[in-house]
Amino acid sequence: MKKVLITGASSYIGVSFENYVKDHYSSELNINTVDMIDGSWRQKDFSSYDIVFHVAGIAHADIGKVSEETKKKYYAVNTDLAIETCRKAKGEGVKQFVFMSSSIIYGDSAPYGKQKRITKETDPTPSNFYGDSKWQADKGVREFADDQFTVTVLRPPMIYGKGSKGNYPTLSKMAKKLPVFPDIQNERSMLYIENLCEFLSQVMIRGEGGIFWPQNAEYTRTSEMVKMIADVNGHKIRVSKAFNWLVSLASRLPGKPSGMANKAFGNLSYDQSMSIFGFEYRTVGLKESIERTEG
Instruction: Supply the CATH number for residue 50's domain.
Output: 3.40.50.720
What's the CA angle centered on 84, arms 82 and 88, to 5 degrees?
115
Mean pLDDT of 232-239: 95
DSSP string, the chain: -EEEEEESTT-HHHHHHHHHHHHH-TTTEEEEEE--SSSGGGGS--TT-SEEEE--------TTS--HHHHHHHIIIIIIIHHHHHHHHHHTT-SEEEEE--GGGG-SPBPTT---EE-TTPPP---SHHHHHHHHHHHHHHTT-BTTBEEEEE---EEE-TT--SHHHHHHHHHHH-SEEE-----B-EEEHHHHHHHHHHHHHHT--EEE----SS-B-HHHHHHHHHHHTT---EEEGGGHHHHHHHHHSTTHHHHHHHHHH-BBEE-GGGG--SS----S-HHHHHHHHH-
Counting the structural domains of the chain, the total is 1
Q: pLDDT category, 167, cuts 50, 70, 90?
A: confident
Output the pLDDT for position 131: 93
Is the pLDDT assigned to residue 112 strictly greater than 90? no
CA dihedral 220, 223, 224, 227 (to 10 degrees): 140
Asked, for residue 44, whether it belongs to a domain, the answer is yes
Asked, for residue 223, whether it belongs to a domain, the answer is no
Asked, for residue 294, whether it belongs to a domain, the answer is no
Question: Whole-model pTM?
Answer: 0.94
pLDDT in tens, 15-72: 999 999 999 999 999 999 999 998 999 999 999 999 999 999 988 656 667 788 888 9
Mean pLDDT of 228-252: 91
Output the pLDDT for position 50: 98
Output the pLDDT for position 110: 84
Full domain range(s) for residue 101: 2-164+190-217+269-284
pLDDT in tens, 246-267: 888 888 877 777 777 887 888 9
Asked, for residue 256, whether it belongs to a domain, the answer is no
Output the pLDDT for position 99: 98
Output the pLDDT for position 66: 76
Output the pLDDT for position 150: 98
Output the pLDDT for position 259: 76
For all residues of the chain together, what is the average pLDDT? 93
Contact 202, 281 (CB under 8 A): yes
Asked, for residue 240, whether it belongs to a domain, the answer is no
Output the pLDDT for position 64: 64
Asked, for residue 46, whether it belongs to a domain, the answer is yes
Asked, for residue 134, whether it belongs to a domain, the answer is yes
Distance, CA of 218 to CA of 82 (rounded, Å): 31
pLDDT in tens, 146-158: 999 999 999 999 9
Asked, for residue 201, whether it belongs to a domain, the answer is yes
Q: pLDDT category, 92, cuts 50, 70, 90?
A: very high
CB neighbours of residue 59 within 10 Å? 12
Distance, CA of 62 to CA of 46 (rounded, Å): 35
